[in-house]
Structure 1
Amino acid sequence: MALSAQDLADLEKAVDLLTSPGLVARLSHLVGSPLEGAVRKLPAGASSRINTAVETALRKAVDAALWSLDNQPRPASRRLHKLYAAASGAVGGAFGLTSLLAELPVSTTIMMRAVADVARGEGFDLDDPDTQAACIEVFAMGGPGDQDDAAETGYYMTRGFATQAMHQLSRELADIAARQGAGQTAGLMTSTQAGKWLARLIEKVAERFGVVITNKVAAQAVPIIGAVTGATLNTLFTDFYQDMALGHFTVKRLENRYGAEVIRAEFERLARARNQH
């Protein structure tokens, strides 16, 4: 089935969003230099503390973000969430690493809420575990490996996290993963199974999101200066994940209409054409 002109335009926009530079690259550009040196200067044990805090923040953010949104389709509000994120970042950046870790659940919830808002705007049901998993997947984008993957495959490699999480849980969920189709996962799982699946998915996504947050912390860990940087970086983060969410849920919406294989083939064709320019 050929895509309509509007759907093709939507997919082209999604490809542009999903194959753009990742967050670590954008952070380095904003700061004006690579962040590897700043990361090495973080206190001993900082990365471990950050990774633990990231997983906890993601777990809390899913419930808090979805609870705070009603489930009626409406256009996403990009500006409001960026204002919330900026205020949160200014507070978290003012007092160094300890306050940054304390602020992380707040800023992560704001970003998760922004992502869920985009999903709702694209017509997805926020009560559906498939939609919730897709919201979590967004936070795996922008992490390590993005610059090494071929543009047309990097996005789909990231999306494989959900199926990997199911396979690693048990044979029962692996069987479900094998039968998984567009929009069918939720109907095949009990609420308990869905909860385990989402928990495992969060664990895997946190590994990638933690690397990005470590770079963010390194950029804003200096007191006072960090207050200004924290507001700026939180706005950058929220804007980035809103873009990733829009691209991600556009692709999923089109997959529901045309089939996953058709959209993937068209996505990869458009991505290759984009790389040649």
Structure 2
Amino acid sequence: MSASLSSEDLIQLQKAKQLLENPGLAAKMSNAIGSPIEHGLKLLPQSWNSGINDVTQKALLKASDAAIYTMKGTSVSLASNRMHKLGVALTGGMGGFFGIAGIAVELPISTTIMLRSIADIARAEGESLDILDTKLACLEVFALGGRSKYDDGAESGYYAVRAALAKSVLDASEFLAKKAITDQGSPILVKFTAEIAKRFGIQVTEKAVAQAVPAIGAAGGAIINTIFIGHYQDMATGHFIIRRLERSYGKEKIEEEYSKLIS
């Protein structure tokens, strides 16, 4: 029989679930621009839906090529969330200035900064960036967009998303154990990032809708991007708290306890 969670770890698990199951990205962006972002859907180009997966997947591949490898494998310090928010705010200013046309240029830069922030949070929760599993777990955070009206509700919960990605994660892990994660031509890595891009694209669309509002401007774009990275910092914090607890108690025990908690 597995050990019961300590009171402190139960508090941490509750914190993680609140972050992962109640992110409210669309609501936060709607508050920032003063109107529901759904009203901006008609402002997106007609070709947006067909091109969003390509844009997000390219952004993820470019980010994985550069974001993690200039960072130390382990760290005893807290994650530098504010510094990364500032970097993404600056790129958001560019996106806001150019509007929807700036997304393709701005998103790879923002995604790279966000992945560095996610990796920083992973280290703060005891992960080593020298381990392949951690690198894949960092990319996995982009699939944890939380619940959205555009999601299939059956696959939007935290453990449901992890289960849906499990085969792709395993295949990528086995392949990349022999190759570099930057081998972008790999069909297996392309498949893995495509699975993540499918979910990341939902959140990118919400961001694009907010930035498509004509009056948003550079300042508004910076605010939207700050909210955007804050969302994924929350996802990363919850994800890596869960992984830390799973290392102590086992995945089945933590998933069982997670399901009992009210988010």
TM-score, structure 2 normalization: 0.86
Give the one of 233, 249, 267 matched to 2:240.
249
Gaps of 5+ in 2: none
Aligned to 1:232: 223
State how far apart, in whole Å, the 2-side matches of 1:47 and 1:56 are: 15
Counterpart for residue 58 of structure 2? 56
Instruction: Provide the rounded CA distance (Å) in 1 between the counterparts of 2:178 and 2:217.
Output: 42
> Where does structure 1 differ by over 6 angstroms across 4 or more consecutive aligned residues?
none
What secondary structure is seen at the aligned counterpart in 1 of 2:157? helix
Question: 2:111 aligned with 1:102, yes or no?
Answer: no
Return the offset for 1:98.
2.5
Contact conserved, 1:133 with 1:198, CA < 8 A, in 2?
no
How many Å apart are 1:192 and its aligned residue? 3.5
Please say if residues 133 and 162 of structure 1, whose CA atoms lie closer than 8 Å, have aligned partners that are also in contact.
no
SS at match of 2:45: coil
Aligned length: 255
**d(CA) in 2 for partners of 1:188, 1:100:** 31
Q: Structure 1 stretches of 5 or more lacking a match?
A: 168-172, 174-184
Deviations 1:170-224 (Å, cap 9, x if unpaired)? xxx4xxxxxxxxxxx9589732497655432211110111121122112112566
Partner of 1:190: 177
Q: Report the equivalent of 1:176.
A: none
Provide the residue aligned with 1:9 in structure 2.
11
Contact 1:219 1:229 in 2 (8 A): no
Aligned partners of 1:165 and 1:200 also within 8 Å: yes
TM-score (norm. length: structure 1): 0.82
Change (3 A) 1:92 1:191: same
Give me the CA root mean square deviation: 2.7
Aligned-residue identity in percent: 44
Aligned to 1:219: 210
2:237 and 2:40 map into 1 onto residues whose CA distance is 31
1:88 counterpart residue number:
91
Deviation at 1:146, TM superposition (A): 8.2
Query: 1:124 aligns to what SS in structure 2?
Result: coil
Q: What amino acid does structure 1 have at the position aligned with 2:140?
A: E
CA contact (8 A) 1:95 1:224 kept: no
Which range moves more in the overlay, 242-251 or 17-26?
17-26
- Farther off after superposition, 88-97 or 32-41: 32-41
Residue in 2 that maps onto 1:209: 200
Q: Counterparts of 1:121 and 1:66 in 2: how far apart (Å)?
A: 14
Other-structure match for 2:158: 155
